[in-house]
Homo-oligomer: A and B are copies of this chain.
Amino acid sequence: MKKLNVGIIGYGFMGRTHSNAYCMVNHFFNVAYKPQLQVICGLEDNVAKAFAEQWGYKSHTTDWHKVIEDDSIDIVDICVPNNVHAEIAIAAAKAGKMIICEKPLALNGEEAKTMTEAVEKAQVANLVSFNYRRVPAVTLAKMLIDEGRLGRIFHYRANFLQDWTISEQVPQGGVGTWRLDVKAAGSGVTGDLLAHCIDTAMWQNGRIKSVCAMTETFIKERKHVETGKVEPVGIDDACTFMCRFDNGSLGNFESTRYARGHKALYTFEINGEHASLAWDLHDLHRLSYFDHADESIVRGWRSIHVTDSDMPYMDKWWVPGLQIGYEHTFVHQIADFLDGLEKGEPARPTFREALATQYVCDAVLSSAKTNTWQNIQNPV
């Protein structure tokens, strides 16, 4: 089994999920490559050191350039705030590294386009971590759609609802709260949460043609961790948009961090001529399915407990009835990435596909500013 040396930049929440995925993947998946945790990079030396010890990294650094310059590194894995993605990714591409980048790909479409061109020019393997594609129930949904079971699609609906920023005491900027700082994050729920919904939606239901959005910033000023001052909030706290897909179906998307009672309620529902599908991240191991072809007196929404071994990825885990959790999506992602290397078919979404999602996010934000419908730019 060929070893691949990994350098992860960013030791936060995503640094942990990615580290764990590299540790677990070979225990459960038979792939041709074996990732090695080589170096962890983060802002604070002592934190990076502790992280390296806890996860078994061979070294640590506070300078991401060192990771790029290290010839032993095969994969650069970018887990830092959005405003640093572009610089690192472009440098890594130039250095010929494979790149796995957290989502959203960039602050905006322009940046994302530059990054996409860089990795394509360098011909390096590249993947954006839209991990929810790899929840088995979500992958199953995609399979069922691709088999044509739903028939003509009429509606696609997705929500991503949270409630963690309702308090005015939550600051902007800094560790854990950089997502509220528009300079670090680029946008609020649009890039952080709706980007997931858009990625899944276009994967399942095809290209979005046009959007019309409304955003709101409920709390207008928050203390900034770095400056220590109360500053205007530049992000969107909430965003709703309607859209039309290329296939003629209608979309309705909403995200907010002000939906009291919901922690990570990412849901989607797809209504087709023959069947419908619904899913919810809060119970990620289930898929709801309604098939109009069922005999009428026993017709009803089915709650599919996605744990049997014929379900996507589930032959690698336990036995029927025993659910997996959130972090498994990252294990699946690395397994697919490694599998793609072996087969010469890149795991998805590549930077180019993530660029398409970025263009939708841009159009959403632009629509909300102008109160007009916006057409989506085509990345291909």
Contacts and interface: CB of A to CB of B under 8 A. Distances in A.
A357 interface: no
A183 interface: no
A214 B297 contact: no
A289 to B, nearest CB: 5
A326 B317 CA distance: 10
A260 B256 contact: no
A14 to B, nearest CB: 11
Interface size, A (range): 35 or more
Given A20-B27, A283-B283, A321-B282, A307 B240 contact: no
A23 interface: yes
B264 A238 contact: no
Contacts of A283: 283, 285-286, 323
Given A27-B55, A260-B276, A242 B244 contact: no
Interface string A323-358: 111111000000000000000000000000000000
Given A263-B307, A318-B13, A157 B254 contact: yes
A17 B238 CA distance: 41
Contacts of A260: 150, 154, 271-276, 290, 292
Interface stretch (A41-49, A76-84, A86-94, A298-306): A298-306
Output the residue of A140, A317, A321 with the most chain B CB within 10 A.
A321
A155 interface: yes
A49 to B, nearest CB: 15
Interface string A43-75: 000000000001100000000000000000000
- Say how many copies of this protein the assembly contains: 4
Interface string A1-44: 00000000000010001011001101100000000000000000
Given A154-B259, A242-B214, A261-B290, A302 B305 contact: no
A361 interface: no
Interface string A154-182: 11010001111010000000000000000
Contact of A155 (B17, B238, B272, B285): B238
A264 B321 contact: yes
A271 to B, nearest CB: 4
A324 B326 contact: yes
Given A155-B256, A262-B321, A300-B305, 4 more contacts: A23-B24, A238-B250, A260-B271, A264-B321
